[in-house]
Amino acid sequence: MFRALLFDVDGTLAETERDGHRPAFNAAFAEAGLAWRWDPALYGELLAVAGGKERIAAFARRADPDFLAAPDAEARIRALHAGKTRHYLAALAGGAIGLRPGVAELLSAARAASTRLAIATTTTPDNVTALLAATLGPEAVGWFEVIGAGDVVAAKKPAPDIYRFVLAGLGTDAADCLAIEDSAVGLQAALAAGVPTVVTRSFYTAGEDFRGALAVLPDLAAVGLEGLARLWRSAHG
Ligand code: XBP
Ligand code: MG
């Protein structure tokens, strides 16, 4: 049986992207007087780049090269991203986003079985705390022994760094853990760190290439803790 469950956040714990992060980016752009607007289809393309600041820079590179050429471009991206985070946190606090099916049940079964819990995400740490508090209560953040999030590592997913950070914090071998991811980028990060991974497809990732996953499921309601344990054992001969 695996010792720890490592959860991705966006798309895995909750469908945060289309109606959470995306409108928060747009609100920050409008506030800064920029004409940029990310509609749901464009945002789906932009998700190929993980991390909000990195996503803004990737968009500017193709849509507004003058913005990037300015000497203060990096500072402006940081300010835009801070505004985006403020809008996103307000939306979460207002109850805009709920957990995906089966997430709360799995967390409670894992806690009952003393399975260790951790988070490995690209998103900003405050976003994780706010999502957990809004959906599971303020004590839920304490259920996770390690929360690896955002800029704590230099290279974001698909680099394995955030998984390595979490594994080091837990002091466990990668093979003794199970990661739950929703995207090809996240799957690549977990596999590159040696963590067996189950994928739950999400709104934007349903058509991606999930080769290497132990299983690809519609959501976590389709499998309980026991089902995950069976999948994990199947990879351990
Ligand atoms: C998904 C992401 C994140 C969010 C934005 O992260 O790519 O970048 O879209 O978050 P994961 P920030 O699936 O690893 O949880 O704007 O806070 O960077
Ligand atoms: Mg994700």
CA distance 177 to 196: 7
Q: Is 205 in the pocket of ligand 1 (CB under 6 A)?
A: no
So which residues are the catalytic ones? 8, 10
Report pLDDT digits (tens) over 70-83: 999 999 999 999 99
In the chain, % of residues over pLDDT 70: 100
**Ligand with smallest separation from the Cα of 184:** 2
Span 153-206, pLDDT tens digits: 999 999 999 999 999 999 999 999 999 999 999 999 999 999 999 999 999 999
Residue 72 is predicted with a pLDDT of: 97
C-alpha distances in angstroms, 148 versus 18, 94, 217?
Answer: 23, 25, 24
Question: 0.75 cut: is pTM over it?
Answer: yes
Q: Helix, strand or coil for residue 144?
A: coil
Question: What is the average pLDDT value for the chain, to the nearest integer?
Answer: 97
Residues 196-237 pLDDT 10s? 999 999 999 999 999 999 999 999 998 999 999 999 999 876
Beta strand 215-217 pairing with 146-149: unpaired
Calculate the alpha carbon distances from 217 to 125, 135, 190, 222 in Å. Answer: 27, 22, 17, 7
